[in-house]
């Protein structure tokens, strides 16, 4: 699968969330990050299940990488949400928006009913999207919560992880047209996720 092409074909979508107007708002007013904390906590809990489902179908050579990646979410990212929710006073027990629910069920659907390569394409797309979004924010605010978050998703380690995902997808056989459809839908879900943070659904 040609990842350069996947990225190139979706520049219109990237342009709408790097930077997203919500991110721009957060730089000026870090308190407006509260709905994101709730939504992304639920997204990450769902992403853990997605990655486990994907791992269960992984070719032998990619199994350990997927398990390590899932473990990283559970042990490194989930604690960030617990910490940030305390700092900003967010109740993580509230229910997520339908944008988050549908994004997660889309990912789980891919992992359980399509060939491994297409789930891997979606995983690459969502991680790449986050790397781009938080790299944009990096250095733009001194607020400790924003520094904490952007230093995680724009770190060198995270960048290397996204590159490993890209290499995995690049090295796999798959139908480029189907991969392009999955990649684009994932990018559009990512955009919907950010858009909904500005909307009434999450409040």
Where does this chain bind ligand MP5 (CB under 6 A)?
Answer: 40, 43-44, 47, 73, 77, 126-127, 129-130, 190, 193
Q: Is 114 exposed, middle or buried (0-12, 13-18, 19+ CB in 10 A)?
A: middle
Q: By C-beta, is 18 or 129 nearer to ligand MP5? A: 129
Give yes or no for a cis peptide into 19 (omega within 30° of 0).
Answer: yes
Nearest distance from C-beta of residue 44 to ligand MP5, angstroms = 5
The whole-angstrom distance between residue 77's C-alpha and the CA centroid of its chain comes to: 12
Least CB distance from residue 40 to ligand MP5, whole Å?
Answer: 5
Least separation in angstroms between CB 88 and ligand MP5: 17
Q: Which residues contact 134 (CB under 8 A, 6 or more apart)?
A: 149, 150, 152, 153, 154
Residue at token pair 């904390």: 37
Two structure tokens written together for 62: 């990619």
By beta carbon distance, the residue nearest ligand MP5 is 130
Would you say 46 and 104 are in contact if contact means Cβ atoms under 8 Å apart?
yes
Nearer to ligand MP5, 37 or 117 (CB): 37
Question: Euclidean distance between the first and final Cα of the chain, in Å?
Answer: 40
Q: Rounded to the nearest whole angstrom, what is the least distance from the CB of residue 31 to ligand MP5 in the complex?
A: 20
Distance from C-alpha of 81 to C-alpha of 186, rounded to nearest angstrom: 23
Nearest distance from C-beta of residue 51 to ligand MP5, angstroms = 7
Q: Would you say 112 or 176 has its CB closer to ligand MP5?
A: 112
Nearest distance from C-beta of residue 85 to ligand MP5, angstroms? 14
CB closer to ligand MP5, 47 vs 84: 47
Question: Which of residues 183 and 190 has its CB atom nearest to ligand MP5 in the complex?
Answer: 190
Q: Which of 198, 173, 181 is nearest to 1 (CA)?
A: 173
**Given the structure tokens 């990018």, which residue do they identify?**
187
118 or 130: whose CB is closer to ligand MP5?
130
């Amino acid at each position: 699968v040609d990842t350069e092409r996947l990225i190139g074909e979706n520049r219109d979508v990237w342009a709408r969330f790097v930077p997203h107007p919500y991110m721009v708002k957060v730089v000026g007013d870090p308190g407006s990050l509260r709905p994101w904390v709730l939504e992304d906590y639920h997204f990450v809990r769902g992403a853990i299940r997605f990655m486990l489902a994907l791992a269960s179908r992984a070719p032998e050579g990619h199994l350990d990488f997927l398990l390590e990646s899932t473990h990283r979410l559970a042990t490194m990212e989930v604690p960030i949400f617990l910490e940030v929710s305390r700092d900003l006073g967010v109740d993580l027990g509230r229910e997520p928006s339908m944008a988050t629910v549908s994004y997660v069920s889309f990912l789980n659907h891919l992992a359980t009913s399509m060939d491994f390569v297409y789930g891997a394409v979606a995983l690459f797309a969502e991680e790449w999207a986050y790397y781009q979004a938080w790299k944009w924010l990096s250095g733009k605010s001194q607020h400790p919560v924003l520094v904490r978050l952007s230093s995680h998703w724009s770190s060198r380690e995270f960048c290397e992880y996204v590159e490993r995902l890209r290499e995995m997808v690049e090295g796999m056989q798959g139908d480029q047209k189907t991969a392009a459809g999955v990649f684009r839908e994932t990018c559009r879900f990512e955009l919907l996720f950010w858009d909904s943070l500005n909307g009434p659904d999450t409040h």
